[in-house]
Amino acid sequence: MQLHYLTAHQLHDMLVSKQISAEELTRAVFDRIEQVEEKIRAYVTLTQERALNYARLVDKARLAGEALPLMAGIPVAIKDNMCTKGVRTTCASKILYNYIPPYNATVIERLNEARTVMVGKTNLDEFAMGSSCENSAFFTTCNPWDTNRVPGGSSGGSAAAVAAGETILALGSDTGGSIRQPASFCGVVGMKPTYGAVSRYGLVAYASSLDQIGPFARDVTDCAMLLNVICGHDPLDSTSVPYDVPDYTAFLTGDVKGVKIGVPREYMGEGIDPAVKEVIKKAIDVYTGLGVVVEETTLPHTEYALPAYYLIAPAEASSNLARYDGVRYGYRAKDAGDLVDMFMQTRSEGFGAEVKRRIMLGTYALSAGYYDAYYNKALKVRTLIKTDFDRAFEQFDLLLGPTAPVTSFKRGEKVDDPLQMYMVDICTLAVNLAGIPAISIPAGIVDNLPVGLQLIGRPFGEGDILRAAHAFEQNTDYHCKLPE
């Protein structure tokens, strides 16, 4: 049996019954990494020694009869835009190539309290800006299903690591689809929680009003378990919501009879690959068969989500990324004459093309004379998009559609056309603008590539989403499919 392809809940049982030790599990994962990482390139940094030490401590505690948290000893990979004390955190950018944070992100603290074992830091599009991992300053991660293709992005490293058995679980961040889209491309479960459900403290900001950390897993149960660990109020994040975090595994009852799901017609229209549409239609049939009421609905402002997103996110990014100037940390250009030159050279040499593009775009959108026409207009459209969802949820418990309009594309296919690349996120962006939760689960295979199904829920409706996702999983076997 290959430990590295089991789920966290299976492994938990084996750990508790002492069939395996955490150290053995950790070694199995690193053996797998040894075997496939050369082809996949999911990790920017591996922390093997640290991981083995953590695992041994868990084993020791278990042998001593200590009460351990549920997830103790389970390997987790971390997207390299979450700060890990003493472990290099690069955001896959030259400008932070040598940056070692002196503090842990709140999610890292929570994972440590849960006694999970960090495997390493995964690759991403530089500062989470991208949809293919091709914008990493270091290297491109490959899709385990076809190494000529991209894993999606920006959390491509985390998605690929889970899909390739290079970790059991992973964390990603999602600003416009950066968890769900790579989950779809790599055939794993990926969830973006409600904005404010998971602390952003220590997540290197891309677009602060949209960023949210979430889990990658092999099945919905694992996803729920990891969500249990990372959700909850954090006084260090002013946008973190104080709420009673339920046990998300309690929602996994299999019973979805009478649940009402809406299918926005905008998510099934032009621009969606017909083969992807077919997969979604079959998924609808599965739900109908389970007694779910599925009806068509509408989110009339969907087409405005992309333009609104590409003003709001770059505007916030242009400000968030101003701090990378070569003064306090990270890369500094050599031989700059005076301070302004040092700032300009450092940033020009330190940032990649897409990051610069978005900084320029955002700076322009905020600059004098354009604020009302661009940024403020986008914020008003954001209100309309949010209202679309509010209306839909008056009628439906969940919304359903494809996660991405296409399956994974070939490396290099879209790099020269930013707009084409941005289009890959058309089904996911609006969810971030509205701040609501959504999941992507494996729902089919087209030409040997996975297709993801997106379920969108009400604010803090993660439990309802997980219930429906789990019911689908119980009646299909797509989540069991492995890349060759």
Partner 1 sequence: MISIKDVEHVALLARLTLTEDEKQIYSKQLSDILEHVHKLQDLNTDGIQPTAHVLPLKNVFREDRVGEHMPVDQVLANAPDRQDKFFKVPKIV
Partner 2 sequence: MAQYEAVIGLEVHVELKTNTKIFCHSGTEFGADPNHHVCPVCLGLPGVLPVVNKKVVEHAIKAGLALNCQIAAFSKFDRKNYYYPDLPKNYQISQYDLPIAEHGCLEINVNGADKRIGITRVHMEEDAGKLVHQGTISTTPYSLVDYNRTGVPLIEIVSEPDMRSADEAVAYLEKLKAIIQYTGVSDCKMQEGSLRCDANISVRPVGQAELGTKAEIKNMNSFKALHKAVSYEIERQIEVLEDGEKVVQETRTWDEAQGETLSMRSKEEAHDYRYFPDPDLAPMVIARDWVEEIRAGLPELPDERRERFVSAYSLPEYDATVLTGTRELADYYEQCVELYNNPKLVSNWVMGDLARMMNISGQEIKNVRISPAQLAKMLELLDNGTISGKIAKTVFEEMFNTGKDPGQVIEEKELVQISDAGLIDKVVVEVIAANPKSVEDYRAGKEKAIGFLVGQVMKLTKGKANPGLVNELLKIKLDK
Give contact residues for partner 1 (rule: CB under 8 A).
98-100, 102, 195-196, 209, 235, 238-239, 241, 301, 303-304, 306-308, 310-311, 318, 322, 325-332, 336-345, 347-348, 351, 356-357, 359-361, 363-364, 367, 373-374, 376-384, 386, 418-419, 422, 433-435
Residues 301-340 that bind partner 2 (CB under 8 A): 315-316, 318-319, 322-323, 325, 327-329, 339-340
Tell me whether residue 258 or residue 328 sits nearer to partner 2 (CB atom).
328
Identify the active-site residue in 93, 132, 154, 440: 154
3-state SS, residue 435: coil
Give yes or no for residue 467 binding partner 2 (CB under 8 A). no
Tell me whether residue 106 or residue 116 sits nearer to partner 1 (CB atom).
106
Identify the active-site residue in 21, 79, 192, 440: 79
Per CB under 8 A, the list member of 10, 48, 112, 239 interacting with partner 2 is 239
Q: Clarify whether 192 is annotated catalytic.
A: no
82 contact, one of partner 2, partner 1, none, CB 5-8 Å limit per kind = partner 2
**8 A C-beta contact, residue 8 and residue 117:** no
Per CB under 8 A, the list member of 120, 130, 172, 202 interacting with partner 2 is 202
Give the H/E segment covering residue 63. helix 48-63
Per CB under 8 A, the list member of 348, 371, 410, 447 interacting with partner 2 is 371
Among residues 304, 305, 196, 302, the alpha carbon closest in space to that of 241 is found at 196
Q: Judging by beta carbons within 10 Å of its beta carbon (0-12, 13-18, 19+), is residue 18 exposed, middle or buried?
A: exposed
3-state SS, residue 150: coil
Q: Clarify whether 93 is annotated catalytic.
A: no
Rg (alpha carbons) of the chain, rounded to whole number: 21
State the nearest-atom distance from the C-beta of 306 to partner 1, in Å.
7
Strands 398-402 and 449-456: antiparallel
Tell me whether residue 288 or residue 383 sits nearer to partner 2 (CB atom).
383
Tell me whether residue 17 or residue 238 sits nearer to partner 2 (CB atom).
238
Strands 117-122 and 75-79: parallel
The token pair at 239 is 């946008």
Tell me whether residue 10 or residue 345 sits nearer to partner 2 (CB atom).
345
Give yes or no for residue 203 binding partner 2 (CB under 8 A). yes
Please list the residues that pair with 294 across neighbouring strands.
Answer: 261
Identify the active-site residue in 131, 132, 155, 178: 178
**How many residues form the binding site for partner 2 (CB under 8 A)?**
43
State the nearest-atom distance from the C-beta of 363 to partner 1, in Å.
4
Q: Clarify whether 240 is annotated catalytic.
A: no
Among residues 176, 126, 124, 173, the alpha carbon closest in space to that of 153 is found at 124
Per CB under 8 A, the list member of 74, 137, 205, 226 interacting with partner 2 is 205
Calculate the alpha carbon distances from 168 to 46, 216, 292, 392, 437 in Å. 15, 9, 31, 35, 23
How far apart (Å, rounded) are the C-alpha atoms in residues 32 and 77?
14
Non-local (6+) Cβ contacts of 85 within 8 A are 101, 102, 103, 104, 108
